[in-house]
Structure 1
């Protein structure tokens, strides 16, 4: 076991993972583009069904790293009837706390377990659409890209949500209502904002920006029946930090996730009342996270009804998907490198090595972008006035 753990520390192994992801990602982007050009104009329903598999094939490679390579296990807490009868079988608007470096991956993990990973979408910054592989894939998969200018974004939200929830299969759309990832600086600004306005100060969250949420309600009524409130937390005593570096080094993480199903009819239609509803939800979410961090239970001191826990088992399809892409990608790349070397084609050989180095560098940059210390300053230097 010790030798296997040492093997996972090797940069060569990390390079192989990076080569597989980036090579397959470019192939998948090309397939997505072909579908966009040749299938979507003719049959949007078929296009969206096929897009599910393209997106799943890309995203599940990171699920492989978490589930199979690192051996992580997620515990999900949800009402028994909601979990068995509804989860993975309906369109959903997700509201999730945004505190950890890999909270997005934890969201993908539960989506993968429930069979909706290929139709998992999110509100994202417009600049991301220009990022190769993930950004291009999200753009071709019809994500909701925003400018962080509400006058422009309101129209985008109205139009794009009708697209997202017209998909023939269950689609989950993530809205990070806090607007940005939690950092000490942003939390300080959020606390100041709340105190100045007589609002409840949140300990584990930022004050939510309500405009994006309220602008989303009208377009989805009649299309999306529910909101899932997701509360994600890690135990303070966990030995491995919840980061991509931990996973890449084969160190497991253990996320705990409380999901609550809220029918959309329970959310007021009036904009001010809906905004107040969201604020109250985050006050409740803060109590839930506080209870978990203090007692190890989401329920002991939060006042929330206790529900069953489900330990989600890893699925074979993510392993098979990664292995197939790894065999294809690595065999093609190393065949080219070896034949170039044997033929003394130094130009091709140096080019191939440069590409390998580029992919390794890109992996480092991608991991770097997930780190909290590298998060954007959005929300830290100005008041979080409900955008």
Structure 2
């Protein structure tokens, strides 16, 4: 199949936006991390959120993708863990169409594989955004995840953490592995989802709950009624989804089981529900989670406001990319800064392993300094008494 001009435009625009955005928008803010990680996080979350609107505007305004959201919706600004079935490798990006309407994109973090942080542009922005990168080896990931979650609890910045408990997208190969796991553990075989891995989910929920940084778990089921773009290659070929359906179930933290074993069972029950829900979705006509096609909870933004955000995003990022090329062509100091920042991103990746790790180290340093000051103050107060 031939490469699509539309697909190339989509991928190249996203790449250039993330690449130039990392250098010229996020780069100047990086020194703030050394002085105040909390303020650095507050500012960079909002800068990254502006880029997250770009895929939404391209998908909906340029390529006419229809988004249908049903179910419970979100309470704007609440802190949550988002669990979702992983139908394609692109579900995380499509979810932004939902979150733009029902939440705030600046709150979202994603738990994803560590190899992605090395991708120029996209990976740099994800490091600055403080996404949680995992090696998919629990003995290696547990301590890192614990440190990252404790950091978010310490700085009290609201967090919505997206997690795919299945661990990978649904393909014939992964379904076969899931079936083998089901047979080994006397579980039913699934057709529309994979059996979830519950260790990471229960750990995250328990840690955030202990840190008083969790209001709810959002269980989202995603489906594609007309065509399914499985990988990035499908986008390059111009095979965009014609419709994306999200069904949202909101579970307040008080309704969740308290023990890890019960929480694991709770997660498996949600996946059994997803299997039934998706079977009904794909067997019904017209395909949809709710035949009325409406959400029980209205979005926090009107469709007019969403349309204005999408239009502004497309205009801003198109102009920004053009201005970056112009600056690189005409202005030597601009080129020098560009080269220095690219070098900084590449060097820190090799020396430190990622900007999110540096941010975490800065926070731990200032936290220990504050603790030492507090201890000295207690000693002085004791002597004065």
Instruction: Single out whichever of 226-235 and 189-198 deviates more from structure 2.
Output: 189-198
Give 4+ residue runs of structure 1 displaced > 6 Å after superposition: 309-312, 334-337
d(CA) in 2 for partners of 1:286, 1:63: 27
d(CA) in 1 for partners of 2:163, 2:145: 11
Deviations along 1:270-295, whole A, 9 cap, x unmatched? 22222122111111111111111112
Q: Does 1:223 align with 2:223?
A: no
Deviations along 1:64-100, whole A, 9 cap, x unmatched? 2111111222111123xxx4xx532201100100012
Aligned to 1:34: 28
d(CA) in 2 for partners of 1:217, 1:251: 34
Deviations along 1:44-82, whole A, 9 cap, x unmatched? 343222112221222222112111111222111123xxx
Matched residue of 2:34: which SS? coil
Q: Does 1:232 align with 2:222?
A: yes
More helix by share: 2
Aligned to 1:123: 111
Where does structure 2 lack aligned partners over 5 or more consecutive residues? 331-385
Matched residue of 2:222: which SS? strand
Matched residue of 1:268: which SS? coil
d(CA) in 1 for partners of 2:89, 2:205: 28
- Decide whether the 8 Å contact of 2:16 with 2:121 is kept in 1: no
d(CA) in 2 for partners of 1:231, 1:61: 23
Aligned to 2:382: none
- Equivalent positions of 1:276-315 (< 5 A) are 276-295=265-284, 296-298=287-289, 308=296, 313=303, 314-315=306-307
Where does structure 1 lack aligned partners over 5 or more consecutive residues? 1-8, 301-305, 340-387
Aligned to 1:88: 76
Matched residue of 1:128: which SS? helix
d(CA) in 2 for partners of 1:182, 1:15: 25
TM-score, length of structure 2 as denominator length: 0.73
Q: How big is the shift at 1:331?
A: 5.2
TM-score, length of structure 1 as denominator length: 0.72
Aligned to 1:44: 37
- Equivalent positions of 1:173-322 (< 5 A) are 173-221=161-209, 222-235=212-225, 238=226, 240-242=227-229, 245=234, 249=238, 253-295=242-284, 296-298=287-289, 308=296, 313=303, 314-322=306-314
- Decide whether the 8 Å contact of 2:69 with 2:295 is kept in 1: no
- Decide whether the 8 Å contact of 2:19 with 2:122 is kept in 1: no
- Equivalent positions of 1:317-356 (< 5 A) are 317-330=309-322, 333=325
Q: How big is the shift at 1:192?
A: 1.8
- Decide whether the 8 Å contact of 1:66 with 1:247 is kept in 2: no
Q: How many residues align?
A: 317
- Decide whether the 8 Å contact of 1:55 with 1:119 is kept in 2: no
Provide the aligned C-alpha RMSD in A: 3.1
d(CA) in 2 for partners of 1:165, 1:289: 35
Aligned to 2:149: 161
d(CA) in 2 for partners of 1:189, 1:102: 21
**Structure-2 change in CA distance of 1:200 and 1:35 (3 Å):** same
Deviations along 1:141-198, whole A, 9 cap, x unmatched? 1111111111121111211122335565543211100011111111111112112211
- Decide whether the 8 Å contact of 1:69 with 1:247 is kept in 2: no
